[in-house]
Structure 1
Amino acid sequence: MTSDRAEASTKNQQQRPPKTVMSGMRPTGRLHLGHYMGVLKNWVSLQPQYDCYFMVADWHALTTKYDDTAYLQENVYEMTLDWLASGVDPNVSTLYVQSAIPEIAELHLLLSMVTPNKWVETDPTLKDMVAMLHEDLTYGLLGYPILQTSDILAVLGDLVPVGKDQVAHLEISRDIARRFNHLFETDLFPQPKPLLTETPMLLGLDGRKMGKSYNNAIFLADTEDETWQKLRTAITDPARIKKDDPGDPAKCEVVYPYYQTFASNGAIELAAKECREAARGCVDCKKILNEFVIEELKPLRERRTEYAKDRAQVEKILREGCEKSRAVAQNTLKQIRAAMRLYQSPALV
């Protein structure tokens, strides 16, 4: 009997559908090394184990850039290219665009009816944005945490990949899911859990936070020459004024972490040793680093070039992903409307 139970338990585990992972990015500009190492490589690693939904969050882009939409559609396309080039597989994962799923907007409205205002006001994501925008704060931005929750719950997301510093941002989504389930006596919504990921801390080439607006990032779409021209400007240990001045890798806050991310263990150790002994100049150090960065990005850039040759195929991937995601969201909304006892129009059933 014990053997039979164990066999049945194993069979049940094998038959369980994989957990759903949901994540997304705002299409506010080109993607850079930080996005690749911190997000995209992780997405790719999750694909074999989970049912992954990756969303281009164009509505979220409007919360802070509502007056700058000239390049929004092109940004959606370019971002999708970067995802595909990074190894996100449309045959395994679902790629879709937020604004193509109107059910997310309806869910946002319904969840806003049951979410206490104080929950939104204390959300860390919103507090950071409010501090940044001041008088430009909009109603849409105030609802950012609820819209983010709607993104996750529309596809019944179980897991959301985040870094340790982002765990608190997900707590409001868990609170809203719990509150809805309690109010309407249902177990429809999962309580999305953070899927903790280790991400390398890469600063911009000038030592500031890596960002598109600072012009201090290496973009995934850059050529090899553009990559080197940028990398050669990266700041190093300020004590190394002359080539024969010894340095301290710990004070080389840009180049050395890049070595730790892209180079082999032997190359990392040698770079640190020769830096301390002033046996290698900073320019030579960057040249060697450049080779490692180019090697890492070469397959990505080759795939990007191939996908870019057939825009219609990329658009087809997005269209099919939107259709699949919308079907899931429609089913979710049908259950939500029933739980809330909303009027069931024949057109909505």
Structure 2
Amino acid sequence: MPNEGSYEAALRRSDRIQEDLKVNPKKYTMLTGDRPTGRLHMGHYFGTIKERVRLQELGVRTNIVIADYQVITDRDTTEHIRDNVYNMVMDYLACGIDPAKTMIFTHSAVPFENQLMLPFLSLVTEAEMERNPTVKAEQEASGHALTGLLLTYPVHQACDILFCKGNIVPVGRDQLPHIEITAKIARRFNERYGKVFPDVAGLLTSTPLIPGLDGRKMSKSYGNAISLSMTAEETAKLIKKSKTDSERNITFDPESRPGVSALLTTAAICTGRDEREIAEEIGMGGSGQLKKYVTQAVNDYFAPIRERRHQYEDDLDYVKDVLHDGNARANEVARQTLDEVREAMGMVY
């Protein structure tokens, strides 16, 4: 977690960029991405995908990496990875990511990008990599030994951002250290070999953390996440099963009533209303009434997205074409950047 001073500075910079984006969107190149470890859910949608679509429509150059190599940072198998990747592309398309405007690609298909790891690794110390809070958190969560890939995870992310000359990355506060190490790598490379890379800034997202249906962080592994690919019936079933409490009167109190409050937050985000207002309206209707309201709110919000998704499920060839095209474009961009890097380093023979 960055200290308060650096967070405040990052927030001020992010606010300035948000203002500038309205008038100069073409100055900016965005890179963001996801690990294909399972289905995308509501937390992903409101936390980041919605923002990607907004930036895309503003006219920013938008790039999304499906970080398939990063799946093996903390797990021993790539089982289901192809299915997860294709489903991720379907989710993106259904949510409004337009492949004509946004380059969608996978790590493993862009060798020129991964080759940047070698010069970049020479620009950071072991201590700087180990200090990264995401590396520590991932290692603790997986119970794995610290692999070389997990240790160098922040450097691989720097390759993702810098190969396409990305200068903005939408992030939550906890991911700011990744941006800091990327900015450090870009700065050190430019100082050592000559200017190739841009200044990089985190675009801090203002979306509140979307709780899972049990009040904990929304996560597939907790079984508390509403996936974008779920049917209306599956959504209803999951919400119905969610734990509330025995108190009949519905109130918003995240500390004492995490289950009830998580449901209220879910409904609030989907309807644009305030949690307390919804709680007051349901009042003595109890958890049964609350669950009905939440189910309706979620299913109404995601109905058009799910309808579009069904079209892509029936057209896997198109989904594959989107990915092949994105990978080809990414390779071309990465090849040009790698050429510039080798030129700056005097390694063209």
The structural deviation recorded for 1:128 is 1.4
The corresponding residue for 2:288 is 283
Alignment match of 1:249 (pick from 252, 257, 260): 252
Separation in 2, partners of 1:30, 1:165: 22
The structural deviation recorded for 1:168 is 2.5
**Larger of the two Rg values belongs to structure:** 1
TM-score, normalised on structure 2?
Answer: 0.87
The corresponding residue for 2:154 is 145
SS in 1 for 2:261: coil
Separation in 2, partners of 1:42, 1:109: 32
The answer to whether structure 1 residue 330 and structure 2 residue 330 are counterparts is no
The structural deviation recorded for 1:15 is 9.5
Alignment match of 2:48 (pick from 39, 51, 66): 39
**RMSD of aligned alpha carbons:** 2.0
1:259 is matched by which residue type in structure 2?
A
The corresponding residue for 2:269 is 261
The answer to whether structure 1 residue 272 and structure 2 residue 279 are counterparts is yes
The corresponding residue for 1:5 is none
The structural deviation recorded for 1:132 is 2.8
Given that 2:113 and 2:334 are in contact with CA atoms closer than 8 Å, whether structure 1 keeps it comes out as yes
**Equivalent residue runs for 1:1-349 within 5 Å:** 17-49=26-58, 50-65=60-75, 67-184=76-193, 186-236=194-244, 238=245, 240=247, 245-250=248-253, 251=257, 252-265=260-273, 270-275=277-282, 277-278=283-284, 280-344=285-349
Separation in 1, partners of 2:311, 2:134: 37
Separation in 1, partners of 2:158, 2:54: 24
SS in 2 for 1:22: strand
2:130 is matched by which residue type in structure 1?
E
Separation in 1, partners of 2:25, 2:65: 24
1:329 is matched by which residue type in structure 2?
A
**Residue 162 to residue 256, structure 1, CA distance change in 2 (3 Å):** same
Moved more, 165-174 or 314-323: 165-174
Unpaired segments of 5 or more residues in structure 2?
1-21
Separation in 2, partners of 1:125, 1:145: 9
The structural deviation recorded for 1:137 is 2.1
TM-score, normalised on structure 1?
Answer: 0.87
Task: Note the alpha carbon deviations across 1:69-90, whole angstroms, 9 max, x for none.
Answer: 1211111111111111111011
Given that 1:239 and 1:247 are in contact with CA atoms closer than 8 Å, whether structure 2 keeps it comes out as no
Given that 1:173 and 1:191 are in contact with CA atoms closer than 8 Å, whether structure 2 keeps it comes out as no
Separation in 2, partners of 1:193, 1:206: 34
Separation in 1, partners of 2:287, 2:144: 45
The structural deviation recorded for 1:150 is 0.6
**Residue 17 to residue 282, structure 1, CA distance change in 2 (3 Å):** closer
The structural deviation recorded for 1:292 is 1.2
**Residue 228 to residue 199, structure 1, CA distance change in 2 (3 Å):** same
**Residue 205 to residue 28, structure 1, CA distance change in 2 (3 Å):** same
Residue identity (%) = 36
SS in 2 for 1:302: helix
Task: Note the alpha carbon deviations across 1:72-111, whole angstroms, 9 max, x for none.
Answer: 1111111111111111011111111111110122101121
**How many equivalent pairs are there?**
322
